[in-house]
Structure 1
């Protein structure tokens, strides 16, 4: 019997792959391992893609964060989105505790979707290594990552 977490991972991974319309690099084996482990590494989906291949909101978020010059605050901060009443949170450290991204990097996380002040954040993030300017997208709060090869960093 498959656990709910493993089932959810399978569904989320399938939705992400379908949304990006590219094949996933991982097989069912990591999903089965997830049923027996409380912490598992994320799946890195290949190949890296240009920002135009991602959902529209990812490109928009990259534009917002570029305009804000990819801030690096000590704590997550809500930043106003120009010409709106919305805010977008970001700039805090992403610790990469599970080693999902290259171990040599240092990372900051940034929300993808602006929201009204006081509203809860959703699961979509971009994670950026300020040193290399490499950016990763996760639609499912760090369960799967895909590198954004161009147009975002």
Structure 2
């Protein structure tokens, strides 16, 4: 690694609007009509769930596969970038990796005399809009010690580029890596955050 360059940070994505839940008024109405007897009956027939039984984990969060017990395989196209981020000790938006920070990770001449460059780029803080990753952690799917996580996430582009993406305008593709800063849990996405694979704490 011959140089590290931090590029201008852009604002994080704004959180999308959350739809109002319409089920609550209906539930309140049913409790009013049925009286306290309904609440007692519901409590008596409560069935143990994955969140109340010892040693059980809930089914995977929609859009997120894998778990601490069975981490997903890291896609081949993302492995090289993930290795470099690990070698860089996972820089994040709190220190030297705001959105658009580029790091040169390869700079050498190959056996044919070609000068090879390799760059990785940071995406800054990941907002987790919709809460899929936080929900995944709270349900115990990243391990018991991550269930109460309330911290931040960092995003990284999941490819190694032949030039500085911020300066060259090269297309950065759809590979992404997201890491929980407080626990080291890592997810990867091959479709620009539409779906995630939990890969553990590499």
Taking structure 2 as the reference length, the TM-score comes to 0.49
Partner of 1:36: none
Q: CA deviation at 1:82?
A: 2.6
Deviation at 1:142, TM superposition (A): 0.5
Give the structure with higher Rg (CA): 2
Shift of 1:42: 6.2
In structure 1, which of residues 79, 87, 92 is the aligned counterpart of residue 124 of structure 2?
92
CA RMSD of aligned residues (A): 2.4
Name whichever structure is richer in strand by fraction: 1
Does 2:54 match 1:43? no
Structure 2 counterpart of 1:114, from 136, 145, 160: 160
1:141 aligns with 2:182: no
Within 5 Å, which residues of 2 pair with 1:58-137?
58-72=78-92, 73-83=97-107, 84-90=116-122, 92-102=124-134, 104-117=150-163, 118=168, 119-137=170-188
Q: Is the alpha carbon distance of 1:47 and 1:74 closer, same or farther for their aligned partners in structure 2, counting shifts above 3 Å? A: closer
**Gapped runs of 5+ residues in structure 2?**
1-58, 108-115, 136-149
Instruction: Report the CA distance between 1:126 and its aligned residue.
Output: 0.7
User: 2: CA distance between counterparts of 1:42 and 1:95?
Assistant: 18
List per-residue Cα deviations over 1:15-72 (Å, max 9, x = no partner). xxxxxxxxxx78xxxxxxxxxxxxxx96112345557x22223322221001111111
Q: Structure 1 CA distance, aligned partners of 2:191 and 2:174?
A: 5
Alpha-carbon distance in 2 for matches of 1:68, 1:86: 14
Q: 5+ unaligned residues in a row in structure 1: which ranges?
A: 1-24, 27-40
Deviations 1:122-148 (A, max 9, x none): 110110011100000110000001111
Q: 1:79 deviation in Å?
A: 0.8
The total of aligned residue pairs comes to 112
The answer as to whether partners of 2:98 and 2:122 remain within 8 angstroms in 1 is no
Q: Indicate if the aligned counterparts of 1:88 and 1:111 stay in contact, CA closer than 8 A.
A: yes
